[in-house]
């Protein structure tokens, strides 16, 4: 049985990441650090055999994916099914603002209540039901090959849980850094974890940016 190797990557940093504002479906582009991270990612993956590149249709993911795909002569296929969790009324706000204005809803979010959805947004159950089948579908197109999928922190959290069989409400003990390289395997039986949060490419010296501040 042939498997599909998946490189699952979070987009580069945005101004809202740095400002701790909830992005969700709001389309925020990469900032200068995020573009540098995307270039470093492209260098890290330049010798990888990648059959196809998929990305969320939000610009921060698409731009990150294009940084890798362009030098390889590949095109990026975007899919709204790979979008971040929709946070509805929460989008654009910081944690402090949420706790001040909607303390009950914010507590439900912090506790990872699977069926809780911010007003106008998605629950974790809805996110899971959207993301896992979509990634399985994309991976199933490439048995024996490797694909790059550029997505968002919430999407990667769901994929980690799917690959390790962890419940949605289990506390998170793993990191989701911008442009970290995460490796998964797909087979018809599901996803499995190979490696997580490889950020060695972000430790490279750069004459413009200090990554420790990113």
As annotated, the active-site residues are 11, 84
30 Rama class: left (phi>0) / alpha (psi -120 to 50) / beta: beta
Token pair of 213 as six digits: 């501040």
Long-range Cβ pairs for the range 199-203 (8 Å, 24+) = 200/44, 201/40, 201/41, 201/43, 201/44, 202/37, 202/40, 202/177
166 Rama class: left (phi>0) / alpha (psi -120 to 50) / beta: beta
Q: Is 68 helix (H, G, I), strand (E, B) or coil?
A: helix
| 135: Cα separation from own chain's centroid | 12
Q: Using an 8 Å Cβ cutoff, are 59 and 29 in contact?
A: yes
Q: Using an 8 Å Cβ cutoff, are 178 and 37 in contact?
A: yes
């Amino acid at each position: 049985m042939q498997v599909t190797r998946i490189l699952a990557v979070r987009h580069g940093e945005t101004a809202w990441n740095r400002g701790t504002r909830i992005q969700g479906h709001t389309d925020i582009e990469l900032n200068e650090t995020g573009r540098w991270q995307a270039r470093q990612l492209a260098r890290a993956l330049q010798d990888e055999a990648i059959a196809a590149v998929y990305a969320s249709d939000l610009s921060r993911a698409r731009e990150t994916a294009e940084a890798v795909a362009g030098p390889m002569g590949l095109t990026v296929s975007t899919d709204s099914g790979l979008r971040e969790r929709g946070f509805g009324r929460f989008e654009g706000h910081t944690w402090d603002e949420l706790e001040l204005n909607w303390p009950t809803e914010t507590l439900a979010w912090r506790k990872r209540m699977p069926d809780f959805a911010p007003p106008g947004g998605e629950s974790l159950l809805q996110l899971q039901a959207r993301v896992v089948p979509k990634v399985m579908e994309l991976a199933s197109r490439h048995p024996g090959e490797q694909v790059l999928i550029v997505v968002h922190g919430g999407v990667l959290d769901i994929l980690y849980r799917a690959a390790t069989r962890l419940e949605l409400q289990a506390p998170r003990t793993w990191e989701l850094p911008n442009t970290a390289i995460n490796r998964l395997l797909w087979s018809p039986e599901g996803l499995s974890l190979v490696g997580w949060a490889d950020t060695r490419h972000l430790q490279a010296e750069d004459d413009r940016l200090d990554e420790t501040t990113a």
